[in-house]
Structure 1
Amino acid sequence: MYLPTFPSPKTRINHKIITRSLAFCSDSSPFQPQQQQQQQGPKEQEESITNRSYWTKRIHGLCIVDRNVDEALRLLDHLRLRGYRPDSLNLSSIIHALCDSNRFSEAHHRFVLSIASGYAPDERTCNVLIARLLDSRSPDSTLHVVHRLMLAKPEFVPSLVNYNRMIDQLCSFSRPIEAHRLFFDMKSRGHCPNTVSYTTLINGYCKIGEVGIAQKVLDEMSECGVRPNSLTYSI
């Protein structure tokens, strides 16, 4: 008589081997979906990198419509590996999306990388993006971007509004001396300080107790024909 043999209690059954064997023999192999994805490939791989209109809309849509800036960054990095050169519209979409997500540090970093790679947008776009970065209220980071822009594009001049905002942020951190240097830089680049410029600087000096310097700035304001407003006198 034939008697089936059973494993003794001491013999260990490797359940992993049995499970893997069944899975390998099954029609629904776990590797099949991955192979299908590789065969299909994303639409981005089929589109030529020379179709700038398509990529601009695609990146803008991911940033603004889908609010998926991470996917936009992955796509942009992939395109750059294929030889795509980002333009001002791509950079604007990325910077605005990062700022909307309160990822200001990354926005500053991306802007600096763009400048370092030899690409800086036109002056108007630069000023729009600087204004966006100033929403972070991190004057040192934004000033770093501005200085890098000036090195790459000596003809670049921040707008008067952006200068005033940077001066205000430095003064808000009790750093009016640095703000005053920025004030002189603004004048050397062709801007005429306005009431906001002087009032902000006066307030900054008063905040640290330097009333004498604040008075000198007020006197200079009058000599330059800039009329104080009610806020100036209320400081």
Structure 2
Amino acid sequence: MFAHVFSRRTSFLVRCFHAGKKFSNPDPENILFSALCLNLKQRRWNTLNQFSPSLTNPLISRVLREFRTSPKLALEFYNWVLENKTLAKSSENRFEASCVMIHLLVDSRKFDEALSIMVNLMSVEGGNLSPLHVLSGLIRNHQACDSSLDVFDSLVRACTQNGDAEGAYKVIEQARAEGFCVSVHALNNLMGCLLNLNEIVWFWKVYKEMDSLGYVENVNTFNLVIYSFCKENKLLEALSVFYRMLKCGVWPNVVSFNMMIDGACKSGDMGFALRLLAKMGVMSGSFVSPNAVTYNSVINGFCKAGRLDLAERIRGVVMVKSGVECNERSYGALVDAYGRAGSTDEALRLCDEMTSKGLVVNTVICNSVVYWMFMEGDIEGAMLVLSDMIDREMDVDRFTQAIVVRGLCRNGCVEEELCWC
């Protein structure tokens, strides 16, 4: 009986071998490889499960590379490897397969899927691997996968997506030491992460290193430098970088202007912001026009300065003439500003206007209205808005709860306050 079963299985493997590629010197691994490929093409997962005990890292990687032109099928096989109980016991199986799969996905321009795998590898659930450990695996498989250098850019992006600027910097340094240079896009990614973390000194260090290594700045690089100066309220220096960008033959985009306009508005220099707004067309050779982000910065600036009349003019006149539609942020700034000024009726009017235009009065805007009503002592009005939020199944978040508790306490409603604690 056992001889009969063995004979049938051997016959099946031989048929699979002849159906696949022909090898000059067939051996058990080549026969198994051919059988795996044939069954994977037909998605015979139950049959593939029978081969699990015989699968090795080199064989798994080989199968993945075989389907590099069919990334969807390769990804299905990769997920099968991860979910297979026999193979999942080995973290080495998971890591090597992951590195090969990342190469294939990046080469197929499926960057989001590649990023997801890298982020998972560096998470607690995925093994809590260091960025340098992941880099070593990618370098080890780089030649066999005949991959592009984009894979190292993607690893830098995965690090910055996790807020790990140090990991991203180490990856760039180690990759360079191994003979692999990342692109200017990866350096921009790192510098953007550093600015978000408010690591200004480190930002300038990376920027100087970038220049010394001969990288050519692109529009995103210049925008980051402009943003850095704006964060430090150095508007003239930011403008100087803008003109240097033009001299280098790099044309600005709307982000270039938005950075400077927003920086001016946040520093209270509305005159500077309005001059830039008026000259956007001239300064960009008529290639750039204000968008909703541009106008929202100006609206925020006027609201912060208490000039609601000018903020309303931007929203109701200037944006209409420009053909730029208001969004939730445009209204949100005005709603909060009216509430701050003690005009909650005007804030509610704007909420009604939003609804009539098909815009969503979100939790942030409602929280603002509730907060300022409590500050005015209008407990009934605040609770009505809160009740409406609940009726519309809006997300009553921890900020909402904190506002309600603070508002009830402020107005002496101790018993009601306890219900929200």
Change (3 A) 1:182 1:73: farther
> Where in structure 2 are the equivalents of 1:41-56 lying within 5 Å?
43-47=51-55, 51=59, 52-54=61-63
Identity rate, percent: 11
Q: In the alignment, is the contact (CA less than 8 A) between 1:69 and 1:97 conserved in 2?
A: no
Q: Please, which of 114, 131, 151 is the counterpart of residue 108 of structure 1?
A: 131
State how 1:122-141 maps to structure 2 within 5 Å.
122=147, 123-141=149-167
Secondary structure of 1:209's counterpart equals: coil
Residues 131-178 of structure 1: CA deviation (Å, up to 9, x unaligned): 33332132221111111111122xx22223222221111112223343
Alignment of 1:209-228 (within 5 A): 209-211=233-235, 213-228=237-252
1:95/1:111 contact within 8 Å kept: no
1:198 Cα deviation after fit: 0.7
Output the CA distance in 2 between the equivalents of 1:173 and 1:70.
Answer: 41
Q: Is the 8 A contact 1:198 1:217 kept in 2?
A: yes
Is this contact kept in 2: 1:195–1:227, CA < 8 A? yes
Within-5 A mapping of 1:17-56: 43-47=51-55, 51=59, 52-54=61-63
State the secondary structure of the residue aligned to 1:149.
Answer: helix
* 1:85-135 deviation line (CA, Å, top 9, x unaligned): 8795156589743525771853625314537xx737352322233333332
Q: Which residue of 2 aligns with 1:30?
A: none
1:89 aligns with 2:100: yes
From 75, 85, 88, give the equivalent of 2:90.
Answer: 75
1: CA distance, partners of 2:83 / 2:232: 44
Measure the CA separation in 2 of the matches of 1:50 and 1:112: 19
8 Å contact from structure 2 (residues 102, 117) kept in 1: no
Q: Distance in 2 between matches of 1:69 and 1:180?
A: 47
Amino acid in structure 1 at the alignment position of 2:140: Y
Matching of residue 203 in structure 1 with residue 214 in structure 2: no
- Separation in structure 1 between the aligned mates of residue 84 and residue 234 of structure 2, nearest angstrom: 45
Q: Does residue 1:157 correspond to 2:181, yes or no?
A: yes
Q: Does the residue aligned with 2:252 lie in a helix, a strand or coil? A: coil
Residues 1:162 and 1:70: Cα distance change in structure 2 (over 3 Å): farther
Q: Give the whole-Å Cα distance in 2 for the aligned partners of 1:145 and 1:199.
A: 24
Inter-CA distance 190–86: structure 2 relative to 1 (3 Å threshold):
farther
1:35-74 alpha-carbon deviations (Å, 9 max, x no partner): xxxxxxx9544346653424778x9557545765998674
Q: Structure 1 counterpart of 2:157, which letter?
A: A
Do the aligned residues in 2 keep the contact of 1:171 with 1:201 (CA within 8 Å)?
Answer: no
Gaps of 5+ in 1: 1-41
Q: Calculate the TM-score normalised by the size of structure 1.
A: 0.58
Q: Name the TM-score, length of structure 2 as normaliser.
A: 0.36
Out of 120-129 and 191-200, give the one that drifted further: 120-129
Q: What amino acid sits opposite 1:75 in the alignment?
A: S
Aligned length: 186
- Measure the CA separation in 2 of the matches of 1:175 and 1:62: 42
Matched residues in 2 for 1:110 and 1:70: separation?
24
Cα RMSD (Å): 4.2
Partners of 2:248 and 2:116 in 1: CA distance: 38
Corresponding letter in the other structure for 2:131: H
Distance 1:168 1:70 in 2: 41
Q: Following the alignment from structure 1 to structure 2, what is the Cα–Cα distance between the partners of residues 76 and 204? A: 42
Cα distance in structure 2, aligned partners of 1:79 and 1:204: 41
* Residues 62, 68 of structure 1: 8 Å contact kept: no
Question: What's the CA shift for 1:190?
Answer: 4.4
